[in-house]
Amino acid sequence: MLLTGMIALEYGTVKERRQQAVAAEEVHRIRDTVEAARLIAPGDDRVPSELGSLAALRGQELLDPWGRPYAVDVTGPFIFSAGPDGVAGTADDITAALSPVRPRLKPSPR
């Protein structure tokens, strides 16, 4: 009986680590897609407020392994999963930082 309990506990730990690894991979994939879209988007504010607004992400299931949507924090800016506890801003969040938004330079008059 004790052995069964130890195996179940270890299985839960392994499963949780795997979910965190999957979320980290997906957060970075989404971040790379957002970065690519920002390169071609017009204007200075090139961080989307909603991930589903990007054409490259439309139609994709953007749910983390715990069934909650991935999100973007425009103040960071970063892409994130709220992690196992489902509460954003806690230690278990899984994030991928976006590069800072740089205003596009206007051509100098000649």
**Averaged pLDDT for residues 3-23:** 81
Positive or negative: CA dihedral 63, 89, 29, 20: negative
Considering the domain boundaries, does residue 31 fall inside one?
Answer: yes
Counting Cα atoms < 13 Å in the Cβ hemisphere of 60 gives 17
**Predicted pLDDT at 61:** 84
Domain at 37, CATH number: 3.30.700.10
How many domains does one find in the chain? Answer: 1
Segment among 3-7, 54-58, 66-70 with least mean pLDDT: 3-7
Range of the domain at 31: 2-97
Considering the domain boundaries, does residue 76 fall inside one?
Answer: yes
Considering the domain boundaries, does residue 108 fall inside one?
Answer: no
> Exposed, middle or buried, 4 (CB in 10 Å: 0-12/13-18/19+)?
exposed
Considering the domain boundaries, does residue 104 fall inside one?
Answer: no
Considering the domain boundaries, does residue 65 fall inside one?
Answer: yes
